[in-house]
Structure 1
Amino acid sequence: MKAPRDVPNALLESLKSLGLTKYEALVYIGLLRTSGATATEVHEISGVPRASVYPVLDRLVQKELVSVSHTTPKRFDAVAPDQGVENLMRRIESDAESARAALDVFYREKGLEGRGDRELVWTIYGEENIRTRLAGMFGSAERSVEVLATWDILQGGVLPLLESAPDSVPVDIVTERWEGEQPSRFRLHLLPLAGLRETRLPTENLLPYERSGVFLVDDSRALLWMGAVDGQPSALYSESEGLVLFVRRHITTVTEWAKAAVQ
């Protein structure tokens, strides 16, 4: 019988992240090093206190990491690592889905309370956080998606997100240029937006073209992508009537001016 030896902390932490306690991890590792061990032998090879061995073994059997014989005394074997980790991952996925469904109930209840959340304006910092919010907006669109943004913003990660919009929802994109093949999936409008910097159009109530992008979904949810703060972009998001109207006016004003400029 092999004596207990030190187990790398990194391995223990990895097994903890898969849902095992320290004792469960030590027992499982100990059983991988031997075959058909009794509870007493498990205590000896794992270093887990004798009083804790049986409860730990019971839990490992439930987690499909250990098999048990019907002999007297009972003997225990570890499931092969490939199968054992797969069993743990399956449990994690099942638990995660159950948690998601339960949490979603609370989230939807919040939406039904009518506390005026729609009037709030949220500030979002960081490109990854902005993309996550845009992905949710596009994926849940029901009637329309409208985008007025620079090519740099589009190619920087927004275009793949637009693919999540349902096929039945029209997607209009207004930008100043396009590189590569123009996708039939979108209704593309190439306009000289950079000319806003030179025109007498009253732009004081509009966003600076070169540092912004606006996104409007179903005429009810709006996001304004603004310039960088400490190297990271920021955005405003809201379902409030005020911000939605601002974005609607911004898209309409800029688009109409740009179309007139090329005539």
Structure 2
Amino acid sequence: MNASRDLPGNLLESLKSLGLTKYEALVYIGLLRVAGATATEIHETSGVPRASVYPVLDRLVQKELVSVSHTTPKRFDAIPPDQGVENLMRRIESDAESAREALNALYREKVPEARGTQELIWTVYGEENIKTRLAEMFRSAELSVEVLAACDLLEENVLPILNAVPGSVQVDIVTDSWQGEQPSGFGIHILPLAARCEAYSPQGKLLPYEKSGVFLVDNARTLLWLGSSGEQPSALYSESAGFVQFVRRHIASVAERARAAVQ
């Protein structure tokens, strides 16, 4: 019996993407069509081989998609689809979180390969990829986060993910202007370079692009975000000591010149 031939569109594939095998999907769909079915009836309705029905039912009970009676013979009912899909999504989210924690543990424990004096600088393309990398940097911060960024970039992209920084970490932000209330947990330094620092920065800007920024975490990891209106941004990310030192000096130099200009 080919019970799958009259199923809507890509229903089987959709259920597989939620973690079901083909047989599990067919049994669940078959149970939605009948009430209180026995294993034999499920075999006839779903087309799943008789020997496979009980193992499949056991797995569906564990996945909270099927309920079972305590009668003789046992009868099985499908959990309503809204609740069933919600149960599957909850399992997926739980499994994903467990996998994330395990993978992060492996990532933190990895030993850098011997590369001689080579210092790696990675290029990151696209706004979402850059924000994801920044959020990872912020979450892992232990001591300090330093930000030198244009106001537009801060407001539109950076402030929402700065909340990932642990509360015990010092956060210092240098920017050219600020709109609205300043967050109490951050050190905000407003440096109006546009009016006073034409000699140090093109067109008196804090940074050479409308949407650009420099980020330094724990004096160990750094990211340079380069973007302009209407263009897809890119970034440079590195954990190399030389590049981090260059960025640290750059942030200190800009802040020092800006403070001198407004005195």
TM-score (norm 2): 0.83
SS in 1 for 2:242: helix
Q: Per-residue CA shift, 1:34-91, capped at 9, x if unaligned?
A: 1122233223322334454344333323323223345554432222334433432343
Shift of 1:154: 0.4
Q: Which residue of 2 aligns with 1:60?
A: 60
1:196–1:136: structure 2 CA closer, same or farther, 3 Å change rule? farther
SS in 1 for 2:233: strand
1:199–1:105: structure 2 CA closer, same or farther, 3 Å change rule? closer
Q: Which residue of 2 aligns with 1:244?
A: 244
Contact 1:4 1:44 in 2 (8 A): no
Q: Per-residue CA shift, 1:199-257, capped at 9, x if unaligned?
A: 1679xxx9625453111112111111113599211111111111111111211221111
Gaps of 5+ in 1: none
Q: Which residue of 1 aligns with 2:44?
A: 44
5 Å matches for 1:1-263? Answer: 6-110=6-110, 113-115=111-113, 119-194=119-194, 198-199=198-199, 208=208, 210=210, 212-227=212-227, 231-263=231-263
Shift of 1:145: 1.4
Letter in 1 for 2:113: R
1:81–1:98: structure 2 CA closer, same or farther, 3 Å change rule? same
Contact 1:225 1:235 in 2 (8 A): yes
SS in 2 for 1:248: helix
Contact 2:145 2:170 in 1 (8 A): yes
Structure 2: distance between partners of 1:5 and 1:235 = 50
Contact 1:153 1:213 in 2 (8 A): yes
1:60–1:261: structure 2 CA closer, same or farther, 3 Å change rule? same
Q: Alignment RMSD, CA only?
A: 3.0
Structure 2: distance between partners of 1:184 and 1:253 = 25
1:186–1:73: structure 2 CA closer, same or farther, 3 Å change rule? closer
1:174–1:108: structure 2 CA closer, same or farther, 3 Å change rule? closer
SS in 2 for 1:261: helix
Deviates more, 1:125-134 or 1:9-18: 9-18
Letter in 1 for 2:60: L
Shift of 1:261: 1.6
Structure 1: distance between partners of 2:61 and 2:103 = 29
Shift of 1:129: 1.1
Shift of 1:182: 2.1
Q: Per-residue CA shift, 1:129-160, capped at 9, x if unaligned?
A: 11111112222222221111110110112012
SS in 2 for 1:198: coil
Letter in 2 for 1:255: A
Gaps of 5+ in 2: none
Aligned length: 256
Structure 2: distance between partners of 1:160 and 1:114 = 31
Structure 2: distance between partners of 1:77 and 1:90 = 21
Structure 2: distance between partners of 1:184 and 1:104 = 30
